[in-house]
């Protein structure tokens, strides 16, 4: 509630002064604010009670027409100018007709929760929702509703647009999908096309292309490798791109190039014979190009994106495409490694040399609103200010606003007061303020002069928004990018090892490809369990549940026997396997399963496998029991996979593998210290 400035226009009724301040804040708020009348909705809820409705949620879910009736009963009294702009209305009256004009089908369940708040006698409600502008553009928003008046005839809704944040989350999820694709496939054509398609979609480009380095007798030239958003015929009639001034930074790996209008770039149009784009070329105004550079520093080529409108690509687009380019580099490096391994395999086969196999592979406003007089004395203080600064209204009103300002920023307030006295506004001023407990909080300030009915400046309104979450989101984004870079590096190292060492064990190119893809796929499935998802908090702290990990690794072998029994069963205790341990542990289980499928119980239709996980206190015992397979006997020699599993368990985990051969089948007891499997608390 805004209170009267003492001594200002004493002849004016206090409520008019308060109303003037309220209107000033309402009109100048940097968020969308709606004033609504819910009295008819309250009447409708009373009618439901009179008709015997006890469970409102169940009733409205089974009577959607009643929910639509409630939506129609909301009367929109007023909206502020920010609302008109946000919802793309030509004039305010367009928004005063009905809530249904901005509702989408997925908005209705949120409105139902709002009704539940009223039904339960509460006066505040907040949530995220998806709505639409009057031009049909979807908006992700977070909103707060405050019901005032005996019949909620004064209901205020503040709405904050979080579409950019949600879009950034979707971009990160898309980049994560690309990394998973690279981890589970070595098909270069598929990977690079996927990268090009995804990058074109994420950047909002009209078309995207990947050009691959190709040396010829006349010098370095580049050939189209993949294309997205345009038919290949659009490029087939043009010569190969040359190392022109515009392309040079990309093809030489010198850095990213982004232009709102490439036609105005000083390097554009300087090279013969076209001096710009050839006739018939796809129109390009917005331009973005990122070099694709291998871990060794070699430039594979570049990702290029174009749009026929100016200013399409942003700094966020740069960060996203840079990450995608790193994934593309990994795909190409892996393909080169695979080709080199195939060549090495052919040479080793001619020499009849045996090799080894290997498997190794993230108030009505939530804002603080206060007013002050021209002496800097606080005259009003809302609930948002109480939450933000920690002072109650009694503690704040009547005190100088400097109680909120750190000593090293007191000069800011002098400048603000000078601008207010001159009738000037201050928009989006980012600074720090001090809470009651002494802590500093980053805020964004909007300051507007408050005038009396004669137009004389009598004070100022301040709207402060806590931007801690935004800064934390930026830090989280940086952390995710660092995490992604770390995972990219690890994927490169693991993939390199898998390809080169699998080559030494394979007897043919087909066997090599099959072995590598199987192991990479197995590790990729296990790796996914450590990544963050909407239903797992944060990054899962790098843990993968043991039972889920076993089910994931053994799912290719599961099914039913002719007797209708499960082929693979897992049971017992469940532990969290750390990210550091998941690769080695998964490879050992993969080797057990591969041997069972080749020689053991999983090689027959009637065979079955039972895995029991036993918590022995300081150790975990995994008991692997095969039944129904062919007769097995102890062998004097060990295959490479068996040796590798033994070395992994002994050296990485400090454990042991015990095997028992029975007429019914093989029994393996894997014993590992738990502190080698679980991440530290």
Structure tokens at 28: 């100048």
Tell me what the mean pLDDT of segment 122-140 comes to. Answer: 91
Check: CB of residue 489 under 8 Å from CB of residue 296.
no
Please report which confidence band the pLDDT of residue 522 belongs to, taking 50, 70 and 90 as the band edges.
low
Domains 188-319 and 368-466 share a fold: yes
- What's the whole-number mean pLDDT along residues 69-98? 91
Residue 279 burial class via C-beta count within 10 angstroms: exposed 0-12, middle 13-18, buried 19 and up = exposed
**Euclidean distance between CA atoms 556 and 521, whole angstroms:** 11
> What digits encode the pLDDT tens for the residues 627-654?
988 887 787 777 767 777 888 899 889 9
pLDDT of amino acid 243: 61
Summarised one tens digit per residue, pLDDT across range 145-164 is: 999 999 999 999 999 998 88
User: Do 222 and 303 touch, CB atoms closer than 8 A?
Assistant: no
For domain 529-676, give the fold. Answer: Heat Shock Protein 90 (3.30.565)
For residue 434, give the 3-state DSSP assignment: strand
Are the C-beta atoms of residues 388 and 441 closer than 8 Å to each other?
A: yes
Residue 202 or residue 355, greater confidence:
202
Residues 429, 445: contact at Cβ < 8 Å? yes
- Range 380-406 average pLDDT: 89
Q: Has residue 275 got a pLDDT over 60?
A: no
Check whether 168 has a pLDDT greater than 50: yes
Higher pLDDT, 578 or 524: 578
Coil, helix or strand for 341? helix
Q: Provide the percentage of residues in the chain whose pLDDT is more than 90.
A: 25
34-66 confidence digits (pLDDT tens): 999 999 999 999 999 999 999 999 999 999 999
Residues 6+ away with beta carbon under 8 Å from 215 = 221
Please tell me which residue, 366 or 502, carries the higher pLDDT value.
366
Tell the residue number behind the tokens 């800064």, with chain if given.
471
The pLDDT confidence band at residue 363, using thresholds 50, 70 and 90, is low
Task: Report the distance separating Cα 307 and Cα 288, nearest Å.
Answer: 9
606 and 562 Cβ atoms separated by less than 8 Å: yes
Q: Reply yes or no on whether the pLDDT at 140 is more than 60.
A: yes
Name the DSSP class of 281.
P
Greater confidence, 481 or 309? 309
Across 280-308, average pLDDT: 79
Q: Are 56 and 75 in contact (CB under 8 A)?
A: no
Go through 406-444 and write b for each residue having 16 or more CB atoms within 10 A of its CB, e for each that does not: eeeeeebbeebbeebeeeeebeeeeeebbeeeeeebbbb
Asked whether 511 and 504 are in contact (CB, 8 A), the reply is: no
User: What share of the chain has pLDDT > 70, as a percent?
Assistant: 74
Q: Give, to the nearest 10 degrees, the angle between helix 39-50 and helix 108-119.
A: 70
pLDDT at 282 over 80: no
Helix (H, G, I), strand (E, B) or coil at 95: helix
Helix-helix angle 39-50:64-73, to 10 degrees: 150
Least confident of 11-25, 107-121, 434-448: 11-25
Place of tokens 């949620």: 57
pTM of the model: 0.36
CA pair distance 589, 670, nearest whole angstrom: 10
Going through 85-189 in order, the beta strands assigned E by DSSP cover 124-132, 138-148, 154-161
pLDDT confidence of 501, banded at 50, 70, 90?
A: very low
- How far is residue 349's CA from residue 361's CA, in Å, rounded to a whole number? 25
Answer whether 273's CB lies under 8 Å from 267's CB. Answer: no
| Cα 303 from Cα 147, distance rounded (Å) | 53
Asked if residues 191 and 185 have their Cβ atoms less than 8 Å apart, the reply is: yes
The residue-averaged pLDDT of 304-320 equals: 81
Least confident of 72-76, 123-127, 222-226: 222-226
Q: Which of the listed ranges 122-131, 477-486, 598-607 does the model predict with the highest average pLDDT? A: 122-131
The average pLDDT across 120-130 equals 93
Distance CA 521, CA 502 (A): 14
Q: What tens digit of pLDDT does each residue of 654-675 get?
A: 999 999 988 888 999 999 999 9
pLDDT of residue 400 exceeding 80: yes
**Residue 220: pLDDT over 60:** no
Taking the C-alpha atoms of residue 576 and residue 354, their distance in angstroms, rounded to an integer, is 39
Which pLDDT does position 555 carry in this prediction? 82
Burial of 569 from C-beta contacts in 10 A (0-12 / 13-18 / 19+): middle
- What is the dotted CATH code of the domain comprising 31-161? 3.30.450.20
368-466: what fold? Beta-Lactamase (3.30.450)
Mean pLDDT value across the chain: 78
Q: How far is CA 194 from the centre of its chain?
A: 19
pLDDT digits (tens, 9 = 90+) for 441-461: 888 888 888 988 888 988 888
Mean per-residue pLDDT for 507-524? Answer: 70
Element (H, E) at 268: none
Helix axes 108-119, 64-73, angle to 10 degrees: 80
Pairwise CA distance, residues 573 & 547, whole Å: 8
Helix (H, G, I), strand (E, B) or coil at 472: helix
Element (H, E) at 41: helix 39-50
pLDDT recorded at residue 634: 80
pLDDT tens readout for residues 314-343: 887 787 787 777 777 766 677 657 666 666
290 vs 296: CA distance, rounded Å: 17
Q: Which of the two residues, 609 and 16, has the higher pLDDT score?
A: 609
List for the chain the helix, strand, coil content (%; round to 5).
45, 25, 30
Mean of pLDDT values over 69-81: 93
> Rounded to 5 degrees, what are φ and ψ at 5?
-75, 120
CA 318 to chain centre: 16
- Catalogue the long-range contacts made by 605-609 (C-beta closer than 8 Å, 24 or more residues apart): 605/561, 605/562, 606/561, 606/562, 606/563, 607/561, 607/567, 607/665, 608/561, 608/565, 608/566, 608/567, 608/568, 608/569, 609/554, 609/557, 609/567, 609/568, 609/569
Alpha-carbon distance 579 to 516, whole Å? 21
- Interior CA angle at 642 toward 670 and 341, to 5°? 135
Residue 340: its pLDDT value, please?
A: 63
pLDDT of residue 642: 78
Question: Residue 551 phi/psi, 5° resolution?
Answer: -60, -40
Q: DSSP letters along 563-581, please?
A: TS-BSEEEEE---EEEHHH
pLDDT of residue 609: 94
Give Cβ neighbours of residue 231 (< 8 Å, ≥ 6 apart): none
Q: What is the DSSP code (8-state) at residue 123?
A: -
What pLDDT score was predicted for residue 70?
92
Separation of alpha carbons 130 and 123, rounded Å: 22
Q: Please give the radius of gyration of the chain, using alpha carbons only, rounded to the nearest integer.
A: 33
Angle between helices 315-350 and 509-528 (to 10 degrees): 140
190-199 pLDDT tens trace: 777 777 787 7
- Select from 526, 507, 505 the least CA-distant residue to 184: 526
| Per-domain boundaries in the chain | 31-161, 188-319, 368-466, 529-676
Q: Is the pLDDT of residue 125 over 90?
A: yes
Whether the Cβ atoms of residue 63 and residue 27 lie closer than 8 Å to each other? no
C-alpha closest to that of 446 among 499, 384, 344, 371:
371
As given in the structure block, the two tokens for residue 632 are: 């097995």
Q: How far apart are CA 412 and CA 541, in angstroms?
A: 42
- Which pLDDT score, from 0 to 100, does residue 603 have? 83
CA dihedral sign, ordered 251, 254, 258, 264: negative
Q: Write out pLDDT tens, residues 534-585.
A: 444 434 456 789 999 999 888 877 778 888 888 899 999 998 888 878 888 8
CA distance 531 to 528: 5
Confidence of residue 4 (pLDDT cuts 50, 70, 90): very low
Q: What sign results for the dihedral spanned by CA atoms 15, 18, 22, 24?
A: positive
For residue 475, the number of C-alpha atoms closer than 13 Å in the C-beta half-sphere is 6
**DSSP letter assigned to residue 121:** T
Residue, of 503 and 40, whose pLDDT is higher: 40
Reported confidence tier of residue 237, pLDDT bands at 50, 70, 90: low
Strand partners, 672: 620
- CATH class given for the domain over 188-319: alpha beta
């Amino acid at each position: 509630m805004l209170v009267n400035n003492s001594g200002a226009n004493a002849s004016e009724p206090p409520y008019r002064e308060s109303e003037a301040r309220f209107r000033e804040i309402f009109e100048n708020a940097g968020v969308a604010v709606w004033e609504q009348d819910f009295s008819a909705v309250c009447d409708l809820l009373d009618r439901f009670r009179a008709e015997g409705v006890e469970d409102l949620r169940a009733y409205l879910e089974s009577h959607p027409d009643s929910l639509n009736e409630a939506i129609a009963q909301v009367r929109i009294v007023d909206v502020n100018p920010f609302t008109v702009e946000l919802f793309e209305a030509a004039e305010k009256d367009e928004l005063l007709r009905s809530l249904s004009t901005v509702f989408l089908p997925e908005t209705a369940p949120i409105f139902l929760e709002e009704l539940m708040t009223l039904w339960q006698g509460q006066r505040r409600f907040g949530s995220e929702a998806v709505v639409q502008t009057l031009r049909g553009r979807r908006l992700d928003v977070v909103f707060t509703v405050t019901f005032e008046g005996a019949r909620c005839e004064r209901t205020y809704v503040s709405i904050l647009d979080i579409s950019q944040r949600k879009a950034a989350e979707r971009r990160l999820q898309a980049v994560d999908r690309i990394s998973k694709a690279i981890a589970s496939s070595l098909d270069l054509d598929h990977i690079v096309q996927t990268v090009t398609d995804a990058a074109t979609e994420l950047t909002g480009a009209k078309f995207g292309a990947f050009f691959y380095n190709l040396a010829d007798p006349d010098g370095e030239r580049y050939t189209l490798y993949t294309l997205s958003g345009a038919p290949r015929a659009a490029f087939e009639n043009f010569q190969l791109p040359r190392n022109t001034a515009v392309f040079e930074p990309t093809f030489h790996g010198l850095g990213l190039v982004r232009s709102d209008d490439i036609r105005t770039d000083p390097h554009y149009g300087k090279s013969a014979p076209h001096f710009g784009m050839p006739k018939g070329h796809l129109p390009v105004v917005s331009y973005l190009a990122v070099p694709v550079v291998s871990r060794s520093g070699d430039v594979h080529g570049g990702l290029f994106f174009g749009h026929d409108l100016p200013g399409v690509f942003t700094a966020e687009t740069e960060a996203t495409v840079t990450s995608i380019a790193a994934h593309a580099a990994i795909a190409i490096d892996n393909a080169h490694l695979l080709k080199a391994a195939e060549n090495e395999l052919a040479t080793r086969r001619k020499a009849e040399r045996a090799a080894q196999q290997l498997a190794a592979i993230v108030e009505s406003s939530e804002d603080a609103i206060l007013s002050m007089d021209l002496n800097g004395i606080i005259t009003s203080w809302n609930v948002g200010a109480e939450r933000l600064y920690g002072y109650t209204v009694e503690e704040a009103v009547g005190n100088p606003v400097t109680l909120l300002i750190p000593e090293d920023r007191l000069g800011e307030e002098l400048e603000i007061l000078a601008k207010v006295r001159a009738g000037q506004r201050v928009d989006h001023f980012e600074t720090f303020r001090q809470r009651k407990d002494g802590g500093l909080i980053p805020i964004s300030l909007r300051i507007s002069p408050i005038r009396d009915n004669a137009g004389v400046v009598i004070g100022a309104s301040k709207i402060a928004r806590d931007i801690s979450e935004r800064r934390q989101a930026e830090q989280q984004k940086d952390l995710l990018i660092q995490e992604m870079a770390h995972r990219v590096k690890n994927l490169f190292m693991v993939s390199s090892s898998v390809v080169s060492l699998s080559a030494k064990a394979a007897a043919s190119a087909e066997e090599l490809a099959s072995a590598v893809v199987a192991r990479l796929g197995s590790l990729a499935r296990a790796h996914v369990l450590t990544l963050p998802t909407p239903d797992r908090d944060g990054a899962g702290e790098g843990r993968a549940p043991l039972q889920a990990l076993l089910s994931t690794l053994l799912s290719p072998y599961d099914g039913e026997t002719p007797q209708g029994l499960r082929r693979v069963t897992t049971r017992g205790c469940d532990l969290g396997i750390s990210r550091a341990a998941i690769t080695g542990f998964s490879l050992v289980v993969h080797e057990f399963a591969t041997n069972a499928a080749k020689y053991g119980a999983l090689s027959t239709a009637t065979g079955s496998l039972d895995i029991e996980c036993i918590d022995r206190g300081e150790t975990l015992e995994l008991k692997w029991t095969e039944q129904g397979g062919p007769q097995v006997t102890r062998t004097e020699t060990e295959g490479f996979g068996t040796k590798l599993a033994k070395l992994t368990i002994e050296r990485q985990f400090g454990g042991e593998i015990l095997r028992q051969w029975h007429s019914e089948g093989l029994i393996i007891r894997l014993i590992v210290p738990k502190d080698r499997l679980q991440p530290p608390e």
